[in-house]
Structure 1
Amino acid sequence: MSYPQYSTGMTGHPEMAEMRERLERTASTGKAIALEGLILLTGVYVAISPWAVHFAGSRNITANNLIVGITIGLIGLGLALVPERMFRLAWALVPLGVWLLISPWVVSATHSARAGIIWNNVLTGVVTMALGLAAMGLTIAVARPDKR
């Protein structure tokens, strides 16, 4: 005698399917698409900023911005390609933005970072934090069911 197989995991739960559907709808909205693009562009800019702002001679901060920029860009690319899995990782942009903000003083070998480095990292850090908070806001809005 054969018994039907039932899933005991949460993946088959009706509420999970509903939440996944809401996340997919939200990820395809204009706001989410614009946010993904802005995150990706911010990451690319942070990665190339040592050469754009002309501080590539400072090896430590150049490597820092390159690594952090690639990380931000990969999060943005992941949000664009598989948003249903990556929206939960959007919170990681906030600490990356904080790190960009303080990194000129932490990473700089001379502890007297030039004004261009400081302004670049402060502005990109604030933008990265704001984009991370916006992405988190979209995630929270998706996780909450409409109360009607």
Structure 2
Amino acid sequence: MAVPTTGSTIEHHPDLVEMRARYEKAGSTPTAQLVEGLSFLTGLYVAISPWVVGFDSATRLTVSNLIVGLAFAVLALGFGSAYERTHLLGWTAPLLGAWVIISQWVIDGASTTGEIIANNVAAGGVAALCGLAVMGLAVMSKRKT
């Protein structure tokens, strides 16, 4: 039977310290800061886009865009402030972008207008690309070591 040791904790494990340093370095590059800032602005735009474009007849889509946009913006803030702890959430960002693209047909069906379709496809595409870029930052930081 193994006897538990009372020495160091997982917080002081050398691999954990090295991994946090690697992700902190990856999150502090100018490219990472640009992607994080663009992701934050994209999330804010998705959240306010129903009022910018005028989703008058699409109230459920308005609520969806507001919630997803705010979630995307909060996720981007997490990447910007604590990338070493939030990088594993990066896979959710492209999914949120994909949801913005398809939500107009899932939620409102045929009642969406051309402006709503163009807005959600463009904003969702930018969000998905930002999410893929955030995921790429994590992959690139693993390769460089």
Common topology (TM > 0.5) = yes
Distance in 1 (alpha carbons) for counterparts of 2:131 and 2:76: 10
Contact 2:58 2:112 in 1 (8 A): no
Distance in 2 (alpha carbons) for counterparts of 1:140 and 1:12: 24
Partner of 2:130: 131
Q: 1:142 to 1:46 in 2, by over 3 A?
A: same
Report deviation, 1:116: 0.7
Which amino acid in 2 is paired with 1:139?
A
Which amino acid in 2 is paired with 1:36?
E
Distance in 2 (alpha carbons) for counterparts of 1:56 and 1:41: 23
Q: What RMSD, in angstroms, separates the aligned Cα atoms of the two structures?
A: 1.7
Which amino acid in 2 is paired with 1:83?
Y
Contact 1:19 1:142 in 2 (8 A): no
Count of residue pairs the alignment pairs up: 141
Which amino acid in 2 is paired with 1:94?
P
Extract unaligned runs of 5+ from structure 1. Answer: none
Residues 71-120 of structure 1 deviation map (CA, whole Å, 9 limit, x = unaligned): 00100111122121112211101111111111111111x62310011111
Report deviation, 1:54: 1.2
**As a proportion of its length, which structure holds more helix?**
2
Partner of 1:114: 113
Report deviation, 1:38: 0.5
Extract unaligned runs of 5+ from structure 2. Answer: none
What aligned pairs does 1:1-148 form with structure 2 within 5 A after superposition? 5-7=6-8, 9=10, 11-108=11-108, 111-144=110-143, 146=145
Distance in 2 (alpha carbons) for counterparts of 1:43 and 1:36: 11
Q: Which moved more, 1:29-38 or 1:136-145?
A: 136-145
Higher RCO (C-alpha 8 Å, min separation 6): 2
Same amino acid, percent of matched pairs: 43
